Structure 1
Amino acid sequence: MKCEEFYKNYFGIESPYEYQVKVWDGIYSLKYPLLIKAPTGSGKTEAVLAPFLSQFINNSFSIAPRLIYLLPMRVLVNNVAQRIKKYCEKVSPYISVEIQHGDLPSAPFFIADIIVTTLDQFLYGFARASKQVGRHIDVPAGAIASSMVVFDEAHMYRDEFTFSITRALMEILYKSNIPFVVMTATMPESLDKNLFENISMDSERRIFGDIDLKSHLEITIKEEPLIKNNEVNISDEILEEIKHKKTLIVLNQVGRAQRVYEEIKNRLDLNNGKIVLLHSRFTKSDRERHEKEAVSIIPHKEDGMIIRPEKRGIVVSTQVLEAGIDFSSELLLTELAPADCLVQRAGRCARYEGENGKMIIFPVEDDKGHLPYKKEHLEKALEWLKINSVFNIKDFNQVCFFADQTLDYQANDYEARDTLIDLYECVLYADEKPENIQLREGKPITLVIIDLSIGEGRKKEDRIRNVLQKTNIRANSISVDFKVGWKLLKDGILKYRLTFDAEKGLWDFVETQDISPFNYYLLEKDNYDPYKGVIPDASSFII
């Protein structure tokens, strides 16, 4: 089946973009690896999905029998998996799509037709971390060896440590002849050269999608921060615009997002609309609910058609929606961020052809206001925007220049070399402790939300044990950096660490005086709001 025919019959797209045709040809010609650079909203996911799914029509699997789709954050996994499932249903009801991440290990062996997962989980599977998959340590590695691997928005990891591991993984895949594709809208030239330094890349393997989406976004830069001295700085004029436009507001830190959410709720009559808060400090069940609601109240696509909700819709978020969420606001309020983040956020406003939108950029306060980003990247972005006042953030050539001029992301050569050796050893011998393998400099802990009001027993300890047996641990858990745990412990909020008796199959707990990575800790429901997430804000730099 030809490329154009497949897109028309199964994706409902009359004519694919030129770059999508090149991706189709490149994948079928087995010209790996491929690097795809194309604007947000231009169909990069469809570009790699189309040739893979066409194998099921032809009943010939010359590309690979399975696809592993990697995302930078677990909060993106569910949304992207649902999009992929809808496409698969149009091709065949027998194509299996499974999610693999720390919250929901429904496909721990990577054996479905399509696995949507995070880079963290891919690393554990590749390194044969035995505690992740029990005694079946060779199954994930074997599945990876027979897959096409897609790194989506590979620039979003940002720190040198994670880039070094990504680079090591890519070099192993390359030397092992495992096909892989890297996709990005805003990878700066510095990172491009660095990641592929030891990988042969000719011009045919670099596909540039210079797409004119025929949409426009007016940019305004404010002088005062959106939050100043802990007070939300939204003028009556801007509030009036929010009343009449589908609005997205993006903050760099969870605590600030929570404050803006509360401010707008208090100042606006929401009887004729909804406001939703999105960030990573919600339980799995609450996060899924908020994601679905956020998409439903902002213009979005369903089966190729744009759905425009009638009522007022406001989404307040951190950077968790910078990739993977397909909706299009009319008004975007955002804190200053690095060039790639601003471009990604702009990709959620006036996203569809012929749309016009407005983007208002607010500076951040000094001190730690720039976190989780490097202060210099924010300063360079702001300086560049002020000098280039006619910048069109919907013009992809200008976007690439913006990223190249203000960002210097790259892997650490020494760390990449050491990581390569570590990964080879893991693959050869299997690592019994996942704690020995990490993707990021920070390490996670898991907070489990418990509601003591439903517990039975006179003593608090008895009520906790009773509640644990009634609680769905995975659905009510949140993964955060262990530094957040230390702050909560210091404030007297975290007091107990969870333990698990494998023989009895029961959870228990012990009092704790410290916080250790990869452990589970109890957080009482008084410190959690299903609409706001974990409270109080324990750390400024966890998204």
Structure 2
Amino acid sequence: MVTLSEIYGEIVEKWFGGRDERPFIANAIREIEKNWDRNIFVIEAPTGYGKSTISATIAAYSLQEELKSIIAFPLRTLLEDQYNKFKGLFGNKLGKRYMHNPDSPYLIKPVTLTTIDTLALTLFGIPPEDLDKAVKYWDGTSSGSLGHYLFSQASVALSNIVLDEVHLLADSTKSLNFLFALMHAAIDNDQKLVLMSATIPEALKKRIKEFNPDVCMVEFNESFDRKFVEERRKKKYRINLIALASVEKFGSLERILLEGSKKFSKITVVFNTIGDAVYFYNNIKEKIPEFKKLLLHSRFSEMDREKKAELLAEMKKSEKFVIVTTQVIEAGVDISSNLFITEIAPASSLIQRLGRFLRYGEREGEVYIWYEVDDRGELARWKDDRYKVYDYSLTALTLEKLAEMKNFSVHVDYDRLLDVYGEFEVDERGVNDLRRILMNFENINSAVEKFFELEGSFVRDSFIIPVVPYSVIEEKRRSSKVPVSFETFKNFKVYGCIVSDEFVSAEKLKCNLSSPKALLRDMIRKSIAAFVVDGDYDSEMGLVKR
């Protein structure tokens, strides 16, 4: 029988030529191995420390000694990045599954990389493969197959599961409910569930310990790897905190970038909204022509996402580049910059972003953290008590803490920044509702009902809708679907939809667009693959409203 430590040694040999430069990872593997009789493991290590080696070790051990594994990510950009690394280890035993990519149906391959959304659907017996069948049966519009819901649930129940960047599940009560329901399932099924992140707030760790006192908690501290900590602390940079009014922000940020490009060669600029990122990129793309430039956000087709990932990999080898992006850069994207310009965000998101700053051997750099202010010079407030896409109070507390901490090591000394998080609210009734779905083996109706009640996702607060810009329809490229949130979808004019690869006009469509729940039901009833909207699209800029 092979051990986890032996598997880890093999992976270090294949990935790093046998050089084990991360002693804490080796320690985490030993702790998991020693406590393998437990069900839940929490691993916290700094950004850029190589936590994916743990995922690979768990997957390889599960394959050799148990049955299968599922590694779930919050964002597809991270999944694609990790897939390319894992392919060399697992070959055709490796699969991936997310929207429009059915490589591992029902998450059935021995090692499957997936999104947390797809994991949730499969766990509750309504995987993407069978969702329309289950909904139509529940809705009374079909009396045929319910899909393979028991097979779907079993595929998850028989797997060891790794959740990467688990801190993102703490963003809402809905996603926290799913996390705690999944922990219940892991214990009930005697599975291994490994939760990993660089930024797990103490309040969340406390809540997990209260739920399961037997959890194996493995946390990084300086004594594990003094060389790593000292090397990170020796990096020289200033953290500049700047307030910008709406009318001046783009001009000011452009001046910072152009001035910084005289000294720094690898530049990343992060915005909280796609609109701001696209506008800024459009302004600077013809400037400093000696720098390669790339725009990243979530509104690209599947094909162009993959091309962007390839361009990003190539860019890592470039001497000079500018990446303009949104929060898609946060979760595990392996890139490093020496000039980092980012909009303010809640602490965990901000720390994850800054994990892309001086990530490799660079010694010097500069950080600018900016925030938009109102007429009184205070952090601007958007509707629904938000700072753009984030919770306002949490963003304001992060800003307050940054001003108090001033310069600190963004790589290893960020614990105090995470103190902005208070208690995490878990809805016990909501968790128990999810658990009851897993206990109801007779039919799948309860899962479908909860799916509609939660507006199309067990995890995300926003329902995602596939759209196709009208210009693409005219060019007969109907497979170029782009995912957008329901809130964004409402801002587009709808010309029609795609059903069975044919365009159906809005007049014939008669679809209820009033709420996510109503829209979702009509999409499934009418087999709508995507909506056709008044947008423009190209592979460089993505989907933009006309």
Asked if these proteins are the same fold (TM beyond 0.5), I'd say yes
Match of 2:302 among 257, 265, 284: 284
Report deviation, 1:479.
1.6
Spell out, residue by residue over 1:400-436, the C-alpha distance to the aligned partner (whole angstroms, 9 max, x if none).
Answer: 2321x11236243345434434433566532474546
Matched, 1:36 2:4: no
Q: Which residue of 2 aligns with 1:70?
A: 72
Q: What is the alpha-carbon distance in structure 2 between the residues aligned to residue 507 and residue 435 of structure 1?
A: 27
Q: Which residue of 1 aligns with 2:420?
A: 406
SS of aligned partner of 2:46: coil
Spell out, residue by residue over 1:262-308, the C-alpha distance to the aligned partner (whole angstroms, 9 max, x if none).
Answer: 12124x132x332111110111111221222123213xxxxxxxxx4
**Residues 1:218 and 1:423: Cα distance change in structure 2 (over 3 Å):** farther
Match of 2:531 among 504, 512, 522: 522
- Residue type matched to 1:497 in 2? C
Match of 1:121 among 118, 123, 146: 118
Q: What is the alpha-carbon distance in structure 1 between the residues aligned to residue 45 and residue 128 of structure 2?
A: 38
Q: Which residue of 2 aligns with 1:371?
A: 388
Q: What is the alpha-carbon distance in structure 2 between the residues aligned to residue 297 and residue 227 of structure 1?
A: 31
Q: Which residue of 2 aligns with 1:503?
A: none
Q: How does 1:64-143 map to 2 (within 5 A)?
A: 64-86=66-88, 88=89, 93=91, 95-129=92-126, 132-133=129-130, 135-143=147-155
Q: What is the alpha-carbon distance in structure 1 between the residues aligned to residue 197 and residue 128 of structure 2?
A: 32
Matched, 1:14 2:26: no
Matched, 1:252 2:252: no
Report deviation, 1:236.
3.5
TM-score, normalised to structure 1, is 0.82
Q: Which residue of 1 aligns with 2:321?
A: 313
Q: What is the alpha-carbon distance in structure 1 between the residues aligned to residue 245 and residue 302 of structure 2?
A: 29
1:446–1:480 contact (8 Å) kept in structure 2? yes
Q: How does 1:460-471 map to 2 (within 5 A)?
A: 467=476, 471=477
Matched, 1:48 2:55: yes
Q: Which residue of 1 aligns with 2:141?
A: none
Q: How does 1:337-356 map to 2 (within 5 A)?
A: 337-353=345-361, 355-356=363-364
Report deviation, 1:513.
6.1
Asked which structure has the greater RCO (Cα within 8 Å, sep 6+), the reply is 1
Structure 1 vs Structure 2: percent identity of aligned residues?
A: 21
Q: What is the alpha-carbon distance in structure 1 between the residues aligned to residue 53 and residue 293 of structure 2?
A: 30
Q: What is the alpha-carbon distance in structure 1 between the residues aligned to residue 183 and residue 343 of structure 2?
A: 33
Q: What is the alpha-carbon distance in structure 2 between the residues aligned to residue 51 and residue 167 of structure 1?
A: 21
1:97–1:113 contact (8 Å) kept in structure 2? yes
Q: What is the alpha-carbon distance in structure 2 between the residues aligned to residue 371 and residue 237 of structure 1?
A: 22
Q: Which residue of 2 aligns with 1:330?
A: 338
Spell out, residue by residue over 1:351-403, the C-alpha distance to the aligned partner (whole angstroms, 9 max, x if none).
Answer: 124643321111123132722111111211111111112422122xx322321
**Residues 1:453 and 1:445: Cα distance change in structure 2 (over 3 Å):** closer
Tell me, which stretches of 5 or more residues in structure 1 are unaligned?
299-307, 456-466, 501-505, 538-543
Q: Which residue of 1 aligns with 2:137?
A: none
Q: Which residue of 2 aligns with 1:187?
A: 200
- Residue type matched to 1:119 in 2? I
SS of aligned partner of 1:225: strand
SS of aligned partner of 2:406: coil
- Residue type matched to 2:52 in 1? T
Q: Which residue of 2 aligns with 1:495?
A: 495
TM-score, normalised to structure 2, is 0.81
2:470–2:536 contact (8 Å) kept in structure 1? no
Report deviation, 1:85.
1.6
Q: Which residue of 2 aligns with 1:176?
A: 189
Q: Which residue of 2 aligns with 1:262?
A: 282
Report deviation, 1:97.
1.5
Q: What is the alpha-carbon distance in structure 1 between the residues aligned to residue 437 and residue 240 of structure 2?
A: 45
Deviates more, 1:186-195 or 1:352-361: 352-361
- Residue type matched to 1:148 in 2? N
Matched, 1:389 2:421: no
**Residues 1:409 and 1:70: Cα distance change in structure 2 (over 3 Å):** farther
Spell out, residue by residue over 1:421-462, the C-alpha distance to the aligned partner (whole angstroms, 9 max, x if none).
Answer: 44335665324745466222322211024546856xxxxxxx
Report deviation, 1:120.
0.8
Q: What is the alpha-carbon distance in structure 2 between the residues aligned to residue 234 and residue 194 of structure 1?
A: 40
Matched, 1:430 2:444: yes
Report deviation, 1:23.
2.7
- Residue type matched to 2:79 in 1? V
Q: Which residue of 1 aligns with 2:486?
A: 482
SS of aligned partner of 2:176: helix
Deviates more, 1:183-192 or 1:208-217: 208-217
Q: What is the alpha-carbon distance in structure 2 between the residues aligned to residue 116 and residue 217 of structure 1?
A: 37
Spell out, residue by residue over 1:27-65, the C-alpha distance to the aligned partner (whole angstroms, 9 max, x if none).
Answer: 434143110000011011102312542576xxx41xx32
1:443–1:481 contact (8 Å) kept in structure 2? yes
Q: What is the alpha-carbon distance in structure 2 between the residues aligned to residue 6 and residue 508 of structure 1?
A: 52
2:28–2:218 contact (8 Å) kept in structure 1? no
Deviates more, 1:251-260 or 1:204-213: 204-213
For the aligned residue pairs, the C-alpha RMSD in angstroms reads 2.8
**Residues 1:117 and 1:374: Cα distance change in structure 2 (over 3 Å):** same
2:55–2:71 contact (8 Å) kept in structure 1? no
Report deviation, 1:161.
1.4
Report deviation, 1:209.
5.4
**Residues 1:118 and 1:315: Cα distance change in structure 2 (over 3 Å):** same
Aligned residues: 486
Tell me, which stretches of 5 or more residues in structure 2 are unaligned?
134-146, 374-379, 514-518, 524-528
1:495–1:513 contact (8 Å) kept in structure 2? no
**Residues 1:274 and 1:226: Cα distance change in structure 2 (over 3 Å):** farther
Q: Which residue of 1 aligns with 2:293?
A: 275
**Residues 1:429 and 1:19: Cα distance change in structure 2 (over 3 Å):** farther
Report deviation, 1:75.
3.1
**Residues 1:129 and 1:196: Cα distance change in structure 2 (over 3 Å):** farther
Report deviation, 1:83.
2.0
